[in-house]
Amino acid sequence: MYVFWNLLSLAIAGAGIAFAIHVFRQIMLRDQGDERMQKIALAVQQGGRAFLHAEYKVLAIFVAVVFVLLWLGKEEQYLGWKTAVAFLLGATASGSAGYFGMYCATRAAVRTTQAAKTSLGAALDIAFKSGTVMGMTVVGLGLVGITLLMLIYRDSSTNFANYVLGFSFGASSIALFARVGGGIYTKAADVGGDLVGKVEAGIPEDDPRNPAVIADNVGDNVGDVAGMGADLFESYVGAIISTSIIGWSLVPTGLSPDAQSDALTNLLLYPIVLAAIGIVASFLGTFRVKADDESKLSAALFGGLIAASVFLVLGGAVVTMVMQPRPLMAIGATATASHWSVYLSMVIGLVVGVLIGKVTEYYTSEKMAPAQTIAQQSQTGAATNIIYGLATGMASTWIPTLLLAIAIYLCNALAGMYGICVAAVGMLSTLGISLGVDAYGPVADNAGGLAEMSHQPPEVRKRTDSLDATGNTTAAIGKGFAIGSAALTALALFSAYKVEAAKEAAKVGEVLSLSLDNANVVMGMLIGAMLPFVFSSMAMKAVGKAANAMVEEVRRQFREIPGLKDGTGGEADYARCVAISTQGALRQMAAPGLLAVFAPIAMGMVFGKAAVGGLLGGATVAGVMMALFMANAGGAWDNAKKYIEAGHLGGKGSETHKAAVTGDTVGDPFKDTAGPSINILMKLMTIASLIALPLFA
């Protein structure tokens, strides 16, 4: 049955990739619009491709160095060629998913603008299909990699899932640099363009006179499409692999050889098969997303996600009945969990993911009280806008935190640590459509920019603005979902670390203690809690430095190019602004990325396994709070500005609007650079610790 379940999952994953390619071809058959639209779209496409090529050249050096180091390790310590090859495959798959998603998004935007000339429904169809390409590519490549490695590395004498963990390490490494680098790129252009264009020059958003406008559109794709795709790719594979690692350690004892083999197969492969069912559910859910009226957009997108969730619940019940995974409640315990308890844990994870998304929507949507109150506070200046935005972000942490805490408590009571891990898989199983709903936003945003820059009729911009407004909400929901899944995935990976660290300690006659009366653990917790703050500081400063250069360049062009500012003369030098964003991102992304990899390794080599356990616990707790706070504060600031731009409280160009733009520029690196990158920081640190465990004192 081991081979059957793997091959079934592999076939479904392959079908997911084939569906993504089919949808991409459908998009490419659509009309690209007039010559001016195509010219602007080509500039965005070339900018995105140039940045990813430059970024991947830098990352290739990092991947090559780590590949060699892993290859030189000992196989009995779960290193050597197997882990090295898995690492290389994970890095390649993550980079490929991000690149293909970005490639599709930059071509879908111009077609969305053209479709908006006819109807809102036609424009939604193309934008959402582009997001679906990203979602299905991520889950397809992720599951193909895992199933192939599980087939090739199969070994009944050892927990070979630890070798497969290299796949997650490769994905996480690429994800962090892609998230940080893409976030720096997009926010340097966005902040620089807004400060000079909107605040100083009074130029509307996406006005072709603004030299930073093309770089801003490129940034939406490299940050919110390629970056988000890489982020959730590594969450997806990390949750699945860590559950398999834990499953090996929780096989019931006292079984006959055949029964033990079946139990091992089911516990190892249950998360993989569940993810495969999720791909089918996501595919079915995409057919639910249709709308021809502005008021139905959010309902259509959310309806697709709910439909996929229902299909997963039904399909998961069938899989659970057939496989019947029954883990020990804890290592060394005698009691086993019911397979229905494991199933309920999956359902809890799925439901909590949806609920966190809705809570995030409440705190960030321009239709809700928090964002509107921030807009009202802007009437007395930027200071009160920023104060209330910070307060809103802080307040937004309590409901998601309680939901996660309750989910962890219930899943642990139902099926122990395996139940918590399965909850993370359940939350991410419908990623094919949930990422599609998220990645639709940047396409809609770019479509609106193209409509403005190519001087389309007002009804076209009105339709793209409707798509964009809904896209802002779905992007905020996606960030909340990503944070929730990151918290559970980090906990699953931490559990895998604890199991393997205890085994390593036992080899030398020690007992691993992670209790709070261990000074090393407390020390590690304090340092771990500090790391998300330092990491966020590095990312925010990186945006500030790159944005400073962008501000000076936009000012220079307004000053030196005759007639640019008032629209009577020369054209903006877009390429120069694209180059500034690219250079700034590549220079500034290295330090935060290396901090995530080497901080836990240095801690372990100096202070030992228990100190690393404390560090990972502290980083996870502080990281979840920081990520929720920054993502929701940034989203609320953004939509408070859009609420004013819709004609409320004085509208565009008013002093209230200028104050809101200032708040939004503070929120931009919060929600699109530092906040999302913390998700990856939590997981990458744990994976690096697991891989480097044999080196720890």
Q: Specify the DSSP class assigned to residue 204.
A: P
**3-state DSSP assignment of residue 333:** coil
C-alpha closest to that of 417 among 495, 350, 473, 363: 495
Sign of CA dihedral 261, 262, 267, 271: positive
C-alpha closest to that of 147 among 12, 248, 343: 12
Angle ∠(660,666,671) on CA atoms, nearest 5 = 110
Q: State how far the Cα of 32 lies from the Cα of 108, in Å rounded to an integer.
A: 9
**3-state DSSP assignment of residue 387:** helix
Domain chopping of the chain, boundaries: 2-695
19-50 pLDDT tens trace: 999 999 999 999 888 888 888 888 888 888 88
Strands (E) in 298-364, as ranges, are none
The pTM (predicted TM-score) of the whole model is: 0.88
User: Given this model, what pLDDT does residue 31 score?
Assistant: 87
> Rounded to whole angstroms, what are the CA distances from 448 to 209, 212, 219, 289?
16, 16, 15, 20
Helix (H) or strand (E) holding 287: none
HSE on the CB side for 593, CA within 13 Å?
25
- Give 398's contacts (C-beta < 8 A, 6+ positions apart): none
Helix (H) or strand (E) holding 31: none
> Rounded to whole angstroms, what are the CA distances from 616 to 167, 244, 341, 556?
20, 20, 28, 46
Sign of CA dihedral 629, 635, 638, 641: negative
HSE on the CB side for 276, CA within 13 Å?
22
Q: State how far the Cα of 498 lies from the Cα of 610, in Å rounded to an integer.
A: 9
Q: State how far the Cα of 262 lies from the Cα of 70, in Å rounded to an integer.
A: 32
The backbone torsions φ and ψ at residue 121, rounded to the nearest 5 degrees and listed phi first, read -60, -40
Collect the ranges in the chain with pLDDT lower than 50.
none
User: Given this model, what pLDDT does residue 341 score?
Assistant: 93
Q: State how far the Cα of 68 lies from the Cα of 57, in Å rounded to an integer.
A: 17
HSE on the CB side for 660, CA within 13 Å?
32
78-132 pLDDT tens trace: 678 888 999 999 999 998 988 888 889 889 989 998 888 888 888 888 888 898 9
User: Given this model, what pLDDT does residue 253 score?
Assistant: 75
Cβ atoms of 417 and 211 closer than 8 Å:
no
User: Given this model, what pLDDT does residue 567 score?
Assistant: 67
Q: Is 252 left (phi over 0), alpha (psi -120 to 50) or beta?
A: beta
Q: State how far the Cα of 586 lies from the Cα of 393, in Å rounded to an integer.
A: 29
Cβ atoms of 667 and 634 closer than 8 Å:
yes
Q: State how far the Cα of 381 lies from the Cα of 384, in Å rounded to an integer.
A: 6
User: Given this model, what pLDDT does residue 598 score?
Assistant: 86
Dihedral over alpha carbons 225, 429, 245, 251 (to 10 degrees) = 180
The backbone torsions φ and ψ at residue 572, rounded to the nearest 5 degrees and listed phi first, read -70, 150
Any idea which residue has 């959402």 for tokens? Answer: 128
User: Given this model, what pLDDT does residue 383 score?
Assistant: 93
**3-state DSSP assignment of residue 155:** coil
Beta bridge partners of 328: 336
299-345 pLDDT tens trace: 777 788 889 999 999 999 999 999 988 888 877 677 888 899 999 99
Cβ atoms of 244 and 164 closer than 8 Å:
yes
Q: State how far the Cα of 514 lies from the Cα of 690, in Å rounded to an integer.
A: 16
118's tokens: 């006819």
431's tokens: 């990623």
420's tokens: 């918590």
C-alpha closest to that of 390 among 130, 13, 663, 132: 663
Helix (H) or strand (E) holding 222: none
102's tokens: 């970005």
Q: Where are the alpha helices (DSSP H) in 194-296?
A: 213-221, 228-249, 257-285
